[in-house]
Amino acid sequence: MSSEQSLIPDAGVVDRSVPALQLTNIRKQFGGVVAIERFDLDVQAGEIVALVGDNGAGKSTLVKMVSGVYQPTEGEIRLQGRPASFRDASDARRQGVEVVYQDLALVDSQPVYMNMFLGRELTKGPLRLLDRRRMARETQELVDRLDVRIPSAKATIRELSGGQRQAVAICRATHWASSLVLMDEPTAALGVAETAKVEELIMRLRERGAGVLVVSHNLDQVFRIADRVAVLRRGRQVGVRSIAATNRNEVVSMITGLS
Amino acid sequence: MSEAGTAAPAISRPRWRAIDWREYVVYIGFVLVFLFFAVFLGETFLNPTNLSNIVIQTAPITVMAVGLVFVLSTGEIDLSIGSVVAVSALTGAVALRETDSALVGVLAGLAVGAVVGLVNGVFVTLVRLPSFLVTLATMGAVAGVAREISNLQSVPVDNETFLGLFGSGELFGVPGLIIWSVLAIAVGYVLLNKTRYGAHVLAIGDNIGAARVSGIKTARVKIMVLMGSAMCASLAGLLYAGRLHGARYTLGEADLMTVIAAVIVGGTSLFGGKGTVVGALMGSLLMGMLNNGLILAHLSVSQQMIARGLIILVAVSLSLREKRS
Ligand SMILES: Nc1ncnc2c1ncn2[C@@H]1O[C@H](COP(=O)(O)OP(=O)(O)O)[C@@H](O)[C@H]1O
Ligand SMILES: [Mg+2]
């Protein structure tokens, strides 16, 4: 990682005219088990799309294909209009896809700023020593700009609440994502007040230009934060609705298959 | 002290909670043991020659402790270091006997450590066995090799350059063994606290899943810490060979427990994610002081073993009771 790269992202760089993510004819089989039969979806830049479905419907499998953990058996993934294939998760990350995991991928004993730069630490000088001051400063600026309330960029993750930790994970993902942020149940482990804070943060990502695909079990949440909702039932895509043009009952019956 | 893992001050906590006395066990222990020997042994312990002897004799332990800090910080362990000391010292001594070149002797000794470390690393990362088992196995195998290549005989070393570098030599009046300790500590401190490598080592020990999805090459880092630890043990072997003017298969055989104790008492976590090089230095000096004091107190060898074991047990239990978070 070059140490010249700045932490503060420039939302203007994102090309909003092509979809951040396009999934076409995606199919995934594990041996004989068909996890995803067929799935198509576009996520626009600056758009939040929720992915819902019952347990075992295939939501996590889908997220893992887009984040490089699994490779699709068939179908095409395009990022910002260009075909993409990922060897592994860090390959996907290099291509601008960031993931917020449910089980917080943070290093507890390290400060917030080291987590923000985990795996891409900034260095200085010919000995390439860590530039802790600059990482702390840039992290503080980002956290302030996104209005995340943590004691300091130098606070150790262990000192933070669950909501603050998830906020740090989301900040990190947003900062590094050049095209897409994936979230698999980002608030599943949080209380009511903390969930509200994290939702606020997710909604603020819209302005930053990345597409957001968020898996959620919570329909109230989906209706609060998403622009569109895609429904999976037993590996099949049953429909995509604009939040403004649907309601809870319709989405519930799409999920369950009962009318 | 701005050691890794404890670098950030506890901002939101009351002061009394922010001070975790367990981090200072090694310093408290150091002072207490020093005072104890000073009072009961007096001049025999306190004279400058004895004190500098402690530091000199502890050099191999200090060097190995630095290597082990990295291994423990990734959440692994290396039990093979004691055997690597002997086999490296012997290989170095044999190479010196055959070629009379200090450079060849040193490279041969270090190469043995590199190979053992690589084998450990490959079995831990690619074959995915616990480092405890892998290094337990290599500990035995390497000890066997040391016996085999030496025929249970000691190999004398008389190469002047080598003896100057690793034994009795001095630089500006400072004994060479002390310089080696200082170098090991300085390099270890910078690597662990000031480089991306050190940050990755600590991240792996804390949350290997997070490290992996962040693009950190976890297998490569683990192989590197295990190679580093084995090569530190090789260097320790060369230091013994230099100081004793020869090598023998028994070298380093009692060092494993001492090194582990030094590192743990110093404040490095046995479970990864937290490591301190300065603490390890204090830990090994504490161990060296104990050794010295018990000998001066005229305890028999078996009494020394008992006393050392019990003291280590107390010290380790004081520092190991991990913080509940
Ligand atoms: N690694 C795997 N190997 C085999 N089957 C899998 C694997 N991962 C997921 N599946 C199967 O794929 C289906 C979808 O699982 P998943 O994506 O976890 O669902 P969701 O996240 O919607 O609850 C399930 O039937 C599950 O058993
Ligand atoms: Mg799931």
pLDDT in tens, B240-278: 999 999 999 999 998 999 999 999 999 998 889 999 999
How far off is chain B from A158, nearest CA to CA, in Å?
7
pLDDT at B187 over 80: yes
The pLDDT value recorded for residue A179 is 82
When divided into structural domains, chain B yields a total of 1
State if residue A56 touches ligand 1 by the CB under 6 angstroms criterion.
yes
In chain B, which ranges are continuous DSSP H helix?
A: 15-18, 25-41, 43-46, 48-73, 81-99, 102-125, 131-150, 160-166, 176-194, 196-206, 208-213, 218-244, 255-265, 277-296, 301-320
The DSSP element (H or E) to which A176 belongs, if any, is: helix A162-176
Report yes or no on A13 lying in a domain.
no
The pLDDT value recorded for residue B19 is 57
**Domain of residue B215, residue span:** 23-324
Nearest to A108 among B9, B207, B216 (CB): B207
Both tokens of residue A160? 């933070």
Q: Which residues contact B302 (CB under 8 A, 6 or more apart)?
A: none
pLDDT at B18 over 70: no
Q: For residue A34, report the distance from its CA to the centre of ligand 1, in Å.
A: 9
The pLDDT value recorded for residue B213 is 85
B279: confidence class by pLDDT, cuts 50, 70, 90: very high
State if residue A65 touches ligand 1 by the CB under 6 angstroms criterion.
no
Q: For the residues A137-161, what does the mean pLDDT come to?
A: 92
- The complex scores an ipTM of 0.85
Distance CA(B3)–CA(B202), nearest Å, equals 12
Q: Which atom of ligand 1 is nearest to the CA of A184?
A: 21
Q: For residue A98, report the distance from its CA to the centre of ligand 2, in Å.
A: 17
pLDDT at B117 over 80: yes
Report yes or no on A215 lying in a domain.
yes
Q: Which of A27, A28, A29, A33 to mutate to test the pocket of ligand 1 (most atoms within 8 A of CB)?
A: A33
pLDDT at A8 over 70: no
The pLDDT value recorded for residue B67 is 98
Query: What is the pTM (predicted TM-score) of this model?
Result: 0.87
Higher pLDDT, B302 or A207: B302
The pLDDT value recorded for residue B5 is 41
Residue B146 in contact with residue B90, Cβ under 8 Å?
A: yes
Q: For the residues B103-118, what does the mean pLDDT come to?
A: 98
Report yes or no on A129 lying in a domain.
yes
Report yes or no on A154 lying in a domain.
yes
Report yes or no on A5 lying in a domain.
no
Q: Which amino acid is at B264?
A: I
The pLDDT value recorded for residue B77 is 98
Both tokens of residue B61? 């332990």
- Burial (CB < 10 A; 0-12, 13-18, 19+), residue A135, is buried
When divided into structural domains, chain A yields a total of 1
How far off is chain B from A243, nearest CA to CA, in Å?
32
- CATH number (domain holding residue A51): 3.40.50.300
Nearest to B11 among A103, A129, A152 (CB): A152
Closest Cα to residue A213, out of A51, A11, A71, A86? A51
pLDDT at A104 over 70: no
Q: Which atom of ligand 1 is nearest to the CA of A55?
A: 23
Report yes or no on B220 lying in a domain.
yes
CA angle, residues A79, A1, B10, in degrees to nearest 5: 105
A204: confidence class by pLDDT, cuts 50, 70, 90: confident
Report yes or no on A6 lying in a domain.
no
Higher pLDDT, A223 or A9: A223
The pLDDT value recorded for residue A252 is 95
The pLDDT value recorded for residue B7 is 37
* Nearest-10 crossing angle of helices B218-244, B176-194: 170
pLDDT at B72 over 50: yes
Chain centroid, CA B224 distance in Å: 16
The pLDDT value recorded for residue A15 is 64
Chain centroid, CA A6 distance in Å: 21
The DSSP element (H or E) to which A41 belongs, if any, is: strand A33-43
Which chain A residues touch B201 with a CB distance below 8 Å? none
Report yes or no on A1 lying in a domain.
no
Q: For residue A35, report the distance from its CA to the centre of ligand 1, in Å.
A: 6
Report yes or no on A63 lying in a domain.
yes
pLDDT at B138 over 50: yes
- The DSSP bridge pattern shows strands A228-233 and A211-215 to be unpaired
pLDDT at B146 over 80: yes
- pLDDT above 90 covers a percentage of chain B that reads 79
Average pLDDT, chain A: 89
**Domain of residue A163, residue span:** 18-256
Report yes or no on B93 lying in a domain.
yes
Report yes or no on B11 lying in a domain.
no
Top-confidence range, A169-173, A178-182, A235-239, B187-191: B187-191
The pLDDT value recorded for residue B2 is 39
Report yes or no on B6 lying in a domain.
no
Both tokens of residue A251? 């989405």
Report yes or no on B12 lying in a domain.
no
Which chain A residues touch B206 with a CB distance below 8 Å? 107-110
The pLDDT value recorded for residue B321 is 65
The pLDDT value recorded for residue A103 is 67
Asked if B195 and A105 come within 8 Å (Cβ–Cβ), the reply is: no
Q: For residue A28, report the distance from its CA to the centre of ligand 1, in Å.
A: 10
- CATH number (domain holding residue B307): 1.10.3470
Interface test with A, best of B201, B214, B216 (most A CBs within 10 A): B214
The DSSP element (H or E) to which A180 belongs, if any, is: strand A180-184
The pLDDT value recorded for residue B88 is 98
pLDDT at A12 over 60: no
The pLDDT value recorded for residue B314 is 83
Average pLDDT, chain B: 90
Chain B residues contacting A, CB < 8 Å?
5, 7-13, 190, 194-196, 199-200, 202-203, 206-207, 209-216, 273-274, 325
pLDDT at B13 over 60: no
The pLDDT value recorded for residue A83 is 92
